[in-house]
Structure 1
Amino acid sequence: MKRLSLGAFLGMAVLLIAASRYEKPPPEPPPKPRYFGTAVSPMDHERSDTFVRPVYVNGGWVSAAGPGGSTVTGALSLPMPWHPGLTVRVKWRRCQPYGKNCRWIEKDVLVHPYDHSGGTNLHILENDDVLIIPTMLAPNNPDYPGPGYPEKNFYARKGISK
């Protein structure tokens, strides 16, 4: 049987000690998500004479739903970049004229994919379907991925006093 020389033995000992003291560097923390703020313009597309107010997104008041594009009072924080499965919680109250027969509706809504956004359009459609579209385009642009502006006339006088 061959014996190790003193130099080989010491070399192996140094390697074992060095290996036992080797520590993995701590893992890098995941990158902090970046968010951006975007104004929200809620629009009511239901053709009935009901109205929607107020509208909340992720618990924050954004406005009453109207014809869109005219007044923006609320905002929403969205992550950058967009990722599949991104949702927001939308809650609104729909009432008949003079505040009668009001009902609250609340649902989680998928956010339409975006690369960048100049504003977010919230479309409340028939049957309480909802679209959230962050975009640089206005709803009347032919390349806009959702419905146009509501066709409902919010200012028409109804009833006997036409």
Structure 2
Amino acid sequence: MSRVLIRVLWLMLISGLSLQGCAPPKPVRLGAPIEGYSHTSAAINRFSVNRGGGPNISPYSGGGKQNCCASLPVKWHPGLTVVVEWEKDPDPYASANWPPLGTDGYRAAYKLHAAKYTRHRAVVPVARYEELGLVNVHFLPCNQVAVSAGATYPGRPDYPFHFPQKMQEPATCPEY
């Protein structure tokens, strides 16, 4: 190799190394498992956090079922939000009075029922966490949502939310 080529390669190496110090480090993200809680009489048929899917949730229940994954930064920072999208069934026990499963009557009843599902989307702040852990999504009255993502869980004193499991929908919801 010629001396000129060696010098050019050496300058390129030094320039590349010096530029690395100028670029801000990208936040490290990980996929965290998703769990959900419905604090209302509605069922959550499906939901996602930053497009990562969560499990379906029966009315007034949740926890115990996890899906993978929501991409979140390892370190929490002020202003951290996630996009939560969900489909809600406001009358999850209606099928008790339907014709037998597999019949045309059942399919017709299901079609009428599914037309009443509602779909929602919210940009939700994530509660402060010291260590990234399980992403817990709480579905509250008036289509409100709360999200935590730490290494703690509902029922512990250090958990950021203490919602009652059963919450009633008010007669009218505030407009946001």
Q: Structure 2 length as normaliser, TM-score? A: 0.64
- Asked if 1:29 is matched to 2:29, the reply is no
| 1:155 alignment counterpart | none
- Asked if 1:86 is matched to 2:80, the reply is yes
- Asked if 1:147 is matched to 2:141, the reply is no
Deviation at 1:122, TM superposition (A): 0.5
Deviation at 1:85, TM superposition (A): 1.1
Number of aligned residues: 127
Deviation at 1:148, TM superposition (A): 4.9
**Contact 2:51–2:70 under 8 Å retained in 1:** no
Bigger proportion of residues as helix: 2
Q: Percent identity?
A: 30
Unaligned runs of 5+ in 1: 1-22, 153-162
For residue 147 of structure 1, what is the amino acid of its counterpart?
Answer: H
Unaligned runs of 5+ in 2: 1-14, 96-109, 168-176
| 1:158 alignment counterpart | none
**Contact 1:90–1:106 under 8 Å retained in 2:** yes
- Asked if 1:122 is matched to 2:116, the reply is no
- Asked if 1:61 is matched to 2:53, the reply is yes
Deviation at 1:124, TM superposition (A): 0.6
Distance 1:117 1:80 in 2: 6
**Contact 1:45–1:150 under 8 Å retained in 2:** yes
**Contact 1:55–1:65 under 8 Å retained in 2:** no
Bigger proportion of residues as strand: 1
Deviation at 1:108, TM superposition (A): 0.6
Q: How does 1:124-139 map to 2 (within 5 A)?
A: 124-139=139-154
Q: Structure 1 length as normaliser, TM-score? A: 0.69
Distance 2:121 2:83 in 1: 7
Distance 1:90 1:57 in 2: 5
| 1:74 alignment counterpart | 68
Deviation at 1:94, TM superposition (A): 0.9
In angstroms, what is the RMSD of aligned CA positions? 2.2
For residue 61 of structure 1, what is the amino acid of its counterpart?
Answer: G
Query: SS state of the match for residue 127, structure 1?
Result: helix
